[in-house]
Chain A
Amino acid sequence: EIVLTQSPATLSLSPGERVTLSCRASQSVGNYLAWYQQKPGQAPRLLIYDASSRATGIPARFSGSGSGTDFTLTISTLEPEDFAVYYCQQRSHWPPEYTFGQGTKLEIK
């Protein structure tokens, strides 16, 4: 099973700041890496797919990069609504399965 490790577990920042979240895979996942945002009481929302493509309706301040085992999600200028938990997720071909990272909580400083 491919394990995704996100860091840090928690980040305390202020609106207007730039933030970079990290996701590391235990083995190469190519570019099959997605990022989600989840707010309390809500379902996750897809932000980034295939490592660097923004999903429909996602603001340009969100960007993803990386390939292989190391990936990042960057929010260029934090807005108040961006404080949430962020998860990375990969799909492996064999065994056919999906796994999620443990999440990074972005909280207001």
Chain B
Amino acid sequence: QVHLVQSGAEVKKPGSSVKVSCKTSGGTLTMFALSWVRQAPGQGLEWMGGSIPISTTPNFAQKFQGRLTITADKSTGTASMELSNLRSEDTAVYYCARGNGSDFDYWGLGTLVTVSS
């Protein structure tokens, strides 16, 4: 059984950083890719970055280059993403998702990050 358990909701000030974690099971981090996808209120899904099966280092969507850090601790099965220099437009639900080939077959429940002064 595969589980992706995310950390709890966060409220952050503009200009600060947020770190969201994703505790995985089922050998996810050793055998599969893991990505971060976000969804602003009432909007669609947006891939932010993650490990692609063909690469062992994270890849990032261009708009998040320089602001997004993705780490993975394979010994504990925990992946994390840290987004810096937050602005109000970063208010969203952030999901971790397991990449299996070209798709995402398992998703965390999501973490709401609210950026507000």
Contact = CB atoms under 8 A, between A and B. Distances in A.
A101 B109 CA distance: 21
B44 interface: yes
B18 to A, nearest CB: 19
Contacts of B102: 32-34, 49-50, 90-91
A60 interface: no
Interface string A60-101: 000000000000000000000000000101110101111111
Interface string A20-39: 00000000000011101010
Contacts, number: 65
Interface residues of B, number: 24
A29 to B, nearest CB: 9
A102 B105 CA distance: 19
A96 B95 CA distance: 19
A98 B100 CA distance: 12
A96 B101 contact: no
Interface of A: 1, 32-34, 36, 38, 43-46, 49-50, 55-56, 87, 89-91, 93, 95-103
